[in-house]
Amino acid sequence: MLEIKNLQASIQDEKQTIKPILRGVNLTMKPGEVHAIMGPNGSGKSTLANILAGREDYQINAGSITLNEEDILSLSPEERAARGLFLAFQYPTEIPGVNNMYFLRTALNSLRKKKALPPLDAADFLMLVKIKMKKVGLSEAFLQRAVNEGFSGGEKKRNEVLQMLMLEPNFIILDETDSGLDIDALQMVGRCVTSLRNSTRCILIVTHYQRLLDYIRPDVVHVMAHGKILKSGDETLARELESKGYSWVENESHHD
């Protein structure tokens, strides 16, 4: 379903210097799989997530990204979303003046239109969103508030998960959604992600910590450092990283 081959990317910093970030990422995800990417700060994890979603700040220097056998590098973020790709941001953006209900209903009906489905009217949408809001622990008052404006960090993350539950995307990327969450919120994210697992949907989790993976149980765990995936394994690899850190993986890769 997803294939990344030799992806190399850079970004221009404030001094107009070109800074390489991804240095040859290779990753293959089959339908139904859940993968986690772990690694130290500055390893390229969030860069990879943003490039998958179509953020245009980065320059692609080599490689390819194929989703369902289609090269998506030339597609806009909107076109990627229409193909079922969803990114839960590490730092969700505030959208003053746009309330959550309008935002969610517009996004959902836009995707339904792409799938040749009729739009949901206000009553049907409200019934659906109320069910999903209970799952993420948000009150109905959030529907009338501007998107993420004045939200706490945890509320912003819950709102991202609500969007994910409403849109039911085919390919989900969680970019450090667990950062800043307490135990109850972590369990909520774990339950919601697990509820979306099926035989066709792919889920890619970017995280620093093993604790979220206790609730989600990924099929594959990857270790990323210096812009590359250095090692892959099952969920026991995440526990090993939690106890031993990342340096042993980096040292191991230098000796290969």
pLDDT at 146: 83
**108 contacts 123 by C-beta, under 8 angstroms:** no
- 125: Cβ–Cβ under 8 A, 6 or more apart, which residues? 101, 104, 105, 108
Separation of alpha carbons 134 and 152, rounded Å: 18
The tokens for 256 are: 């290969």
pLDDT at 149: 81
Separation of alpha carbons 31 and 203, rounded Å: 9
- 124: Cβ–Cβ under 8 A, 6 or more apart, which residues? none
pLDDT at 255: 54
Q: What is the pLDDT along the chain (256 residues), one digit of tens a residue?
A: 899 999 999 998 777 788 999 999 999 999 999 999 999 888 999 999 999 999 888 999 999 999 999 999 999 998 999 899 999 877 677 788 888 889 999 999 998 888 889 999 989 999 999 999 998 888 888 888 888 787 877 788 888 889 899 999 999 999 988 777 888 888 888 888 899 999 999 999 999 878 889 899 999 999 999 999 999 999 899 888 888 888 888 777 665 5
pLDDT at 152: 78
Separation of alpha carbons 145 and 156, rounded Å: 12
pLDDT at 202: 95
- For β-strands 171-175 and 146-147, DSSP reports them as unpaired
Where do we find the tokens 């240095």? 23
Residue 6's H or E segment, with its range, is: strand 2-12
Q: CATH assignment of 2-255?
A: 3.40.50.300
